[in-house]
């Protein structure tokens, strides 16, 4: 069995779904289990409709909902099921108008409809293409906790259900499921967070003991740099789970950061593929470290719109507990920290969620001086070979000649070198580093 996950752009229209059907049909002998995202930007549209309802504009919310219903009708002949789901949605939206509050539980209930609809539509289109397809409601097999909008799977119960339901069906049918969605132990609809369809695919793959997990998207695989920042990146043929996790964490949008966790635990390879160019072999992600040959760096990732927080206090000198006090502030405000550097009297760190920044700054100011720099960017060079190659830092600083580096960090694993630059310097930084580290390529690792 293989798991094949198709993202929103891969199932955004009837034509796209027909293309997906061809891809799946060509791999029918491998007993595919297909996980799909919502069609196109459906999730964003659902959340817009719900927020419009909460704001009290009932007519506009229902008008937007009707537009979304018509979109699904245009792309599928599954009329009755679509109308049934949108009738349920209309009642939910009317309820939000009355409540005037969009709770996390309601958010999950509304946003889950994208995958609920797309999985039904894809199943029907597969049948029309001649496949014996069967739909499995992901909410029946993916069991989560009660943290709505960011639910965590109960792996023991989820794997038990997946093992009992999916392999018997996959032996004779093409199984289709919605990604992103699950349900609590009480049967209440939950979601795994944005980008969670990748996570679903990995969970399903681990639960059924798949031979491979395929993530089908709109790019040829993982690249040596983000093409939205700098063009001319090269496809990575193969990389390790550790490298993929680092790249995902530091901004490589092609993969959800949590995706690799179940795959790592079960040692299942993950392959990134392009649904518009299925003939391209993509990027294979495997458990063991992958020698990059002459290329110590596997890829350059970046995160934009970062805020740097500098915390200075002489009380920090020779004092224990100071770092704990700082991070307790961020913990209380549920704000994750990306990078940290320290000196004797200063701690500098970066965050990408500034929702509670004002409150955090107020608390920190009670025992330190705080300065904030917005519009920063993190640049990360990632590669298993970094740890074994001397002189990497010298090459980085040489390539960054004339560009001010605000913070620099190399983890204990020595898998990456990360630093912070002003957002305005991001493109020039990535371009210079890409020239430095990828002017020649190992053909076994890069295309």
Decide if pLDDT at 193 tops 90.
Answer: no
Give the domain ranges of the chain.
Answer: 2-218, 299-438
Give the Cα separation of 189 and 83 in Å (integer): 20
316 pLDDT band, cuts 50/70/90, is low
Q: What proportion of the chain, given as a percentage, has pLDDT over 90?
A: 77
> Cα separation of 400 and 398, whole Å?
5
Q: What is the pLDDT of residue 353?
A: 92
**Pick the residue with more confidence: 382 or 388?**
382
CATH 1.25.40.80 is the classification of domain 2-218: no
Cβ-contact 185, 143 below 8 angstroms: yes
Q: What is the mean pLDDT of residues 121-126?
A: 97
Predicted confidence (pLDDT) at residue 412 exceeds the cutoff of 60: no
**Residue 289 clears pLDDT 90, i.e. is over it:** no
| Angle CA 248–298–9, to nearest 5 | 45
pLDDT at 323: 85
- DSSP assignment of 81-122: HHHHHHHHHHHHHHHHHHH----HHHHHHHHTHHHHHHHHHH
pLDDT mean over 255-270? 84
Asked if domains 2-218 and 299-438 share a fold, the reply is no
pLDDT digits (tens, 9 = 90+) for 77-99: 899 999 999 999 999 999 999 99
**Res. 411: pLDDT tops 70:** no
Mean pLDDT over all residues of the chain?
Answer: 92
- Share above pLDDT 70 across residues of the chain, in percent, rounded to a whole number: 98
Question: Is the model's pLDDT at 192 over the cut of 90?
Answer: yes
Partners of 391 in the β-ladder: none
Model confidence band, residue 319 (pLDDT cutoffs 50, 70, 90):
low
What distances in angstroms separate CA 183 from CA 84, 85, 151, 215, one per listed residue?
20, 18, 9, 23
In 246-402, at which residue ranges do the beta strands (DSSP E only) sit? 270-274, 283-286, 299-312, 340-342, 346-351, 369-382
The pLDDT value given to residue 317: 61
Residue 245 pLDDT > 90, yes or no? no
Average of pLDDT values for 63-67? 97
φ and ψ of 252, to 5 deg: -75, 105
Report the pLDDT value the prediction gives residue 254, as an integer from 0 to 100: 76
Q: Give the long-range contacts of residues 162-167, CB within 8 A, separation 24 or more.
A: 162/203, 162/204, 162/207, 162/208, 163/207, 163/208, 165/136, 165/140, 165/141, 166/33, 166/136, 166/141, 166/204, 166/207, 166/208, 167/1, 167/208
What's residue 50's pLDDT?
97
What pTM value is reported for the model?
Answer: 0.85
Residue 318: pLDDT over 70? no
pLDDT of residue 386: 87
Residue 128 — left, alpha, or beta (φ > 0 → left; ψ -120 to 50 → alpha)?
alpha
Residue 390: φ, ψ to 5°: -75, 155
- Cα 61 off chain centre by: 28
For the segment 209-242, what is each residue's pLDDT rounded down to a tens digit? Answer: 999 999 998 889 999 998 889 998 999 999 988 8
CA distance 36 to 434: 34
CB atoms within 10 A of CB 97: 18
Position 37 pLDDT exceeds 60:
yes
The dotted CATH code for 299-438 is: 3.30.2130.10
- Band (pLDDT 50/70/90 cuts) for residue 156 is very high
- Residue-wise pLDDT tens digits, 335-355: 999 899 988 788 999 999 999
């Amino acid at each position: 069995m293989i798991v094949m996950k198709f993202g929103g752009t891969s199932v955004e229209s009837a034509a796209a779904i027909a293309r997906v059907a061809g891809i799946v049909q060509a791999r029918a002998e491998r007993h595919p289990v297909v996980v799909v995202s919502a069609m196109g930007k459906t999730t964003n549209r659902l959340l817009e409709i719900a927020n419009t309802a909460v704001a009290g504009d009932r007519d506009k919310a229902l008008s937007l909902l009707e537009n979304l219903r018509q979109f699904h009708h245009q792309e599928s002949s599954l009329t009755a099921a679509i109308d049934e789901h949108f009738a349920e949605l209309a009642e939910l939206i009317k309820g939000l108008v009355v409540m005037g509050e969009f709770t996390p539980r309601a958010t999950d209930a509304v946003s889950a409809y994208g995958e609920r609809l797309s999985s039904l539509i894809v199943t029907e289109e597969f049948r029309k293409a001649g496949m014996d397809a069967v739909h499995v409601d992901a909410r029946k097999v993916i069991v989560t906790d009660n943290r709505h909008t960011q639910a965590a799977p109960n792996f023991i119960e989820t794997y038990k259900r997946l093992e009992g339901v999916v392999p018997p069906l996959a032996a004779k049918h093409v199984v289709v499921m919605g990604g992103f969605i699950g349900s609590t132990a009480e049967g209440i609809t939950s979601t795994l967070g944005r980008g969670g369809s990748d996570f679903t695919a990995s969970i399903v793959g681990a639960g059924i003991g798949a031979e491979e997990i395929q993530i089908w998207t709109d790019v040829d695989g993982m690249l040596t740099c983000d093409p939205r920042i700098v063009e001319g990146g090269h496809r990575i043929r193969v990389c390790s789970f550790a490298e993929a996790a680092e790249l995902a964490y530091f901004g490589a949008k092609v993969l959800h950061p949590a995706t690799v966790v179940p795959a790592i635990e079960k040692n299942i390879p993950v392959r990134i593929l392009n649904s518009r160019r299925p003939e391209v072999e993509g990027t294979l992600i495997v458990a063991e470290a992958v020698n990059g040959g002459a290329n110590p760096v596997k890829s350059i990732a970046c995160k934009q719109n970062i805020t740097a927080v500098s915390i200075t206090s002489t009380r920090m000198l020779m004092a224990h507990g100071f770092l704990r006090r700082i991070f307790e502030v961020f913990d209380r405000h549920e704000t994750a920290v990306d990078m940290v550097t320290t000196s004797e009297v200063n701690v500098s760190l970066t965050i990408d969620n500034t929702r509670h920044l004002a409150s955090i700054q107020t608390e920190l100011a009670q025992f330190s001086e705080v300065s904030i720099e917005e519009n920063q960017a993190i640049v990360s060079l990632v590669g298993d070979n970094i740890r074994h190659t001397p002189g990497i830092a010298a090459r980085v600083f040489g390539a960054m000649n004339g560009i001010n580096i605000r913070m620099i960090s190399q983890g204990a694993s020595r898998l990456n070198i990360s630093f912070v630059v002003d957002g305005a310097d991001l493109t020039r930084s990535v371009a210079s580093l890409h020239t430095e580290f990828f002017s020649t390529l190992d053909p076994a690792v890069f295309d």
